[in-house]
């Protein structure tokens, strides 16, 4: 038989009164509204561990008369007929009328779990933890055959290469919730962050991520957990318990690692700032060094010596002036005494005393002259000594005798310990400056 013949037989088998104008009850899942106005979804029913699903469609003409908007999780009763699409080999339930009958088994179960887990504090905002800035290992809990792990690996390798540890698990079907929880606990002690993810899927496919076992494993994880389950509009209890929620697995990878290019740009920016500050500090230090050099320059020393000589000359002139003034005052006083004596004493007494007084006056005059000369000699000797000291301390005086001033890096070299082989030094002579290079450094043995 050909394929067309087989599909024709199936159509004939389905075209029975038992499948025409029937009522079907179930829970709406995977609901979608097409841009043309048609409605597409599934009706599901769970019996024990088994789940039964049938595809449904409501055409635009029938959908416009629905007084309410269908949503995932609603329990409804639909009226219509089974239709077989021969080209695709698929059958679906074409609904003409539909009534809302309840909240749905799965939706009610999720609400019950949500209340219980909220009471345990698994959704509390204060429990959320920040992500480490530079994780060493990232654990991924997802299917090893799906596209999620490849998307995460591509994003992380492009942004900031980090070791990825896959903890494989089933992400849908019976018993998947136990596998997911075990995969989270298995990888938690080996990584810094855990990404729990899977691609988009129907309401039934994502149902396992609402299970309390999965939520508890996420909430009690010792490291932060990022949930990337389904599409952005799909919100599960696992998303609510995770420390952070991402719209897609790729977005989760971007949240876990920094952008290497942005980090490099930031480092280059800081390096530029540090370089500029170093240049500014070097320029400031150079200015300070030039100021110090100017302060200890020979010209400044010569200026200081000249000022000291000027001061000594002025001091000598002042001392000579005051000595002459003192002599004049003494002579004036002597003349006054002589006049008083001449006026008060009788002529005879004066005649007898005159020779003695003259001798006395002569002695006093000589003593005063001697004292004055002695003081002047002492001051001249002191001035000569100070001038000799200044002349001896003048660097040019030593340079004229064959000595020179050795300077290295702006400092006067006073010991061979300040020099190393290969250093360049500046030699200051009485008539100029020369530069030299140190070829050998040796200390005197007797020193």
Domain spans in the chain, listed from the N-terminal domain onward: 3-101, 106-258, 398-437
Strand partners, 54: 43
The share of the chain scoring above pLDDT 70, in percent, equals: 91
Domain 3-101, second-level architecture: Beta Barrel (2.40)
Catalogue the E-assigned strands of 118-241: 137-142, 163-168, 193-198, 225-229
CA nearest neighbour of 187 among 215, 210, 152, 221: 221
pLDDT at residue 103 is higher than 70: no
The arithmetic mean of pLDDT across residues 96-125, rounded, is 82
CA 301 to chain centre: 50
Q: What is the mean pLDDT of residues 393-418?
A: 80
User: What local confidence, expressed as pLDDT, does residue 440 receive?
Assistant: 86
The residues, any chain, with a CB within 8 Å of residue 379's CB and separated by 6 or more, are 316, 319
Rounded to two decimals, what is the model's pTM?
0.46
pLDDT digits over 246-283, tens only? 988 999 999 999 888 888 888 888 888 999 999 889 88
Residue 47 has pLDDT above 90, yes or no: no
Question: Which residues make beta-bridge pairs with 433?
Answer: 428
CA 3/CA 406 separation, integer angstroms: 108
Pick the CATH number of 106-258 from 3.40.50.261, 3.20.20.70, 3.30.830.10, 3.40.50.300: 3.40.50.261
Token pair, residue 289, equals 């060094």
d(CA 166, CA 138) in angstroms, rounded, equals: 9
* CA–CA separation, 154 and 248 (whole Å): 14
The mean pLDDT value of the chain amounts to: 85
Closest to 69 in 3D by CA, of 25, 100, 96 = 100
d(CA 123, CA 143): 25
The per-residue pLDDT for 6 is: 65
Candidate from 108-112, 160-164, 208-212 with smallest mean pLDDT: 108-112
pLDDT at 14 over 80: no
d(CA 359, CA 340): 18
Q: Vertex 240, ends 239 and 245: CA angle to 5°?
A: 45
E-assigned strands of 34-115? Answer: 39-47, 50-58, 75-85, 90-102
Report the pLDDT averaged over residues 27-35: 89
């Amino acid at each position: 038989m050909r394929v067309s013949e087989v599909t024709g037989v199936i159509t004939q088998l389905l075209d029975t009164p038992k499948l025409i104008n029937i009522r079907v009850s179930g829970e709406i899942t995977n609901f979608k509204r097409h841009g043309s106005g048609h409605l597409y979804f599934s009706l599901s029913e769970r019996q024990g561990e088994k789940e039964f699903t049938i595809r449904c469609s409501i055409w635009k003409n029938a959908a416009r008369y629905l007084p309410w908007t269908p949503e995932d999780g609603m329990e409804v009763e639909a009226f219509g007929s089974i239709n077989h699409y021969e080209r695709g080999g698929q059958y679906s339930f074409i609904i003409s009328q539909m009534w809302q009958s309840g909240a749905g088994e799965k939706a009610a179960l999720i609400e019950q779990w949500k209340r219980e887990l909220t009471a345990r504090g698994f959704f509390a905002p204060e429990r959320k933890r920040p992500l480490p800035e530079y994780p060493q290992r990232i654990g991924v809990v997802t299917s090893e055959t799906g596209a999620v792990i490849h998307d995460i690996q591509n994003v992380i390798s492009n942004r900031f290469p980090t070791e990825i540890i896959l903890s494989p698990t089933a992400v849908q079907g019976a018993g998947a919730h136990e596998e997911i929880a075990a995969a989270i606990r298995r990888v938690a002690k080996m990584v810094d962050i855990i990404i729990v993810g899977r691609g988009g899927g129907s309401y039934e496919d994502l149902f396992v991520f609402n299970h309390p076992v999965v939520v508890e494993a996420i909430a009690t994880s010792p490291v932060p957990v990022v949930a990337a389950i389904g599409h952005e509009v799909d919100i599960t209890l696992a998303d609510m318990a995770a420390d952070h929620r991402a719209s897609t697995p790729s977005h989760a990878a971007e949240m876990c690692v920094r952008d290497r290019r942005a980090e490099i740009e930031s480092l280059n920016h800081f390096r530029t700032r540090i370089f500029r500050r170093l240049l500014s500090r070097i320029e400031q230090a150079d200015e300070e060094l030039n100021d110090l050099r100017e302060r200890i320059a020979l010209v400044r020393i010569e200026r200081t010596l000249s000022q000291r000589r000027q001061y000594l000359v002025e001091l000598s002139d002042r001392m000579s002036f005051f000595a002459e003034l003192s002599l004049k005052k003494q002579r004036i006083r002597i003349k006054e005494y002589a006049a008083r004596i001449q006026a008060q004493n009788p002529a005879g007494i004066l005649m007898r005393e005159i020779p003695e007084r003259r001798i006395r006056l002569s002695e006093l005059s000589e003593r005063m002259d001697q004292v004055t000369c002695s003081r002047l000699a002492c001051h001249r000797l002191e001035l000569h000594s100070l001038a000799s000291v200044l002349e001896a301390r003048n660097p040019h005086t030593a340079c004229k005798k064959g000595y020179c001033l050795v300077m290295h890096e702006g400092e006067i070299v006073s010991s061979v310990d300040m020099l190393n082989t290969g250093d360049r030094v500046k030699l200051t002579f009485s008539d100029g400056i020369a530069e030299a290079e140190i070829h050998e450094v040796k200390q005197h043995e007797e020193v």
